[in-house]
Amino acid sequence: MGRIAETELLQIELSVANAENAIAQSTLNLQSSMEQLRTFLGIQRAARFEMVPPLELPSFIVDPNQALQFALQNRSLIVSWNAA
């Protein structure tokens, strides 16, 4: 009792290494996303964004047909932004 098998220890160490890798990847993704947002907004200098969720979320119903029309109308804007 109080002892774990070497394979269990190695599995735990692997899990820790995987978790640390996931944190590092998420940090890189955050930095990349912040840079893309800064570029999209046309901000030339370094900027840090702090996301603050609203206290209340409005309730609304989305008409699927209207949403599709809106998406199709604005698709070229998204395509041109991704190409930049």
Residue 69 confidence class, pLDDT cut points 50, 70, 90:
confident
Residue 1 confidence class, pLDDT cut points 50, 70, 90:
very low
- How many Cβ atoms sit within 10 Å of the Cβ of residue 29? 10
Please state the pTM of the whole predicted model: 0.54
Q: Give the whole-angstrom CA distance, residue 6 versus residue 12.
A: 10
